[in-house]
Structure 1
Amino acid sequence: MRYRREDVVARALQVLDDYGLADLTMRRLGTELGVRPSALYHHFANKQSLLAAVADEILRRGRHEQTGAWDVRVTGICTDLRDSLLAYRDGAEVVATVWSFGLGASQPHDDLVQALTDGGLGDLAPTAARTLLHFVYGHAVDEQTHLQAAAAGAIEDDVRDTDDFVAGLGLITAGISMAKAVREASPDR
């Protein structure tokens, strides 16, 4: 049977969710699809390009259009991103790694830069967007690692305060608002 690129990505996402990133290999994926691993290279030059496509699919499935003031949009983008990352086993690690390597997963950054630029942040928008992404990725990786360790019995599962993400995001957004206000008040603008 011949598979389309979208079919391979969908199955790779299922393997990721079922077995985790360490077991998402071209060999396992080929077995899952009933093809030789070499057949996958028709669609993807290497595992990194497959992971980039998986990361983009994770983001695509969780993306919602954000409207409103810049801070409302930023909060919505970051919340959607976090939810997307946590929806799949090792999703945070996959997306954060792909973005860090510059292989894909750039949509959240682009959306944040646009919202921040629309809000008047100017040339600080890319730095603010990266800061927000570092927070969201770090928080999601921490949450997933904790949940997986608890599920494996490696740690006692103490329930974490779910408001921690919202509070942290609020702190960063408040800092961005302050930086924006200082810039607007500066005569050297």
Structure 2
Amino acid sequence: MALTAGQIVEAAHGLVTRYGVQDVSMRRVAGELGVRPGALYYHVPNKQEMLRRVARRVLEPLHEVTDEPLALLQRLRQLVLALPDGGDLILIAYSLDPELPPVPALRSGLLLHSCTPAEAEETAAILMRYALGALAVEQNSLLFGQSDPAASVRYERGLLALLAGVRNTVSSP
């Protein structure tokens, strides 16, 4: 049976789920698949691209969503926090792929709130940077045994403040 990119991403996703991003390597994925590491490079050029594809797979439920921006980013939080090192995974992937879900759906939602295309583009980038940073901090705190019961409230308040700022900017003369 021939190796496929989908099999590589599936194996990498399983390893990220079990061990976290830092413990996933091309060699480990190859071992999981029972092939030599060189066999992976025909389908995936490097670890970063493999992780980007894993992130796209994780975020697939956010690909074409019609939720309001706040609800969409709350769903992002659920998906990210469900995965060990999910914040780190998505940060890596977003730095490589600024069109990672939920960005297109987020821009579409912002356009429905009277944003121009340029404002929607900029606001989506700001919201993603805030959300991913907040989620990475929250998840790393959890990994180090520092539970923060107010984390979800702070996350939502930050998003609401950013969205209110967008509404004020758009409605200002």
TM-score (norm 1): 0.82
1:82 to 54, 77, 80: 77
Other-structure match for 1:110: 104
- 1:82-125 superposed Cα distances (whole Å, 9 cap, x missing partner): 112112111211112221133x6523222211211232211211
Q: Deviation at 1:146?
A: 0.5
1:26 aligns with 2:16: no
Other-structure match for 1:43: 43
Q: Deviation at 1:64?
A: 6.6
Gaps of 5+ in 2: none
Other-structure match for 2:138: 143
Describe the shift of the 1:16–1:105 C-alpha distance in structure 2 as closer, same or farther (beyond 3 A): farther
Q: Deviation at 1:143?
A: 1.1
Describe the shift of the 1:4–1:61 C-alpha distance in structure 2 as closer, same or farther (beyond 3 A): farther
Other-structure match for 1:66: 66
1:166 aligns with 2:156: yes
Gaps of 5+ in 1: 68-72, 151-156
Amino acid at match of 1:171: A
Other-structure match for 1:100: 95
Contact 2:25–2:47 (CA<8 Å) still a contact in 1? yes
TM-score (norm 2): 0.89
Identity between Structure 1 and Structure 2 (%): 27
- 1:140-187 superposed Cα distances (whole Å, 9 cap, x missing partner): 10111011111xxxxxx34331312122211111111111211xxx2x
1:134 aligns with 2:123: no
Larger radius of gyration: 1
Contact 2:63–2:101 (CA<8 Å) still a contact in 1? no
Structure 1 residue runs of 4 or more that deviate by more than 6 Å after TM superposition:
none
Contact 2:141–2:147 (CA<8 Å) still a contact in 1? no
Report which structure shows greater RCO (CA 8 Å, sep ≥6): 2
1: distance between equivalents of 2:75 and 2:64? 7
The two structures, once aligned, show a CA RMSD in angstroms of 1.8
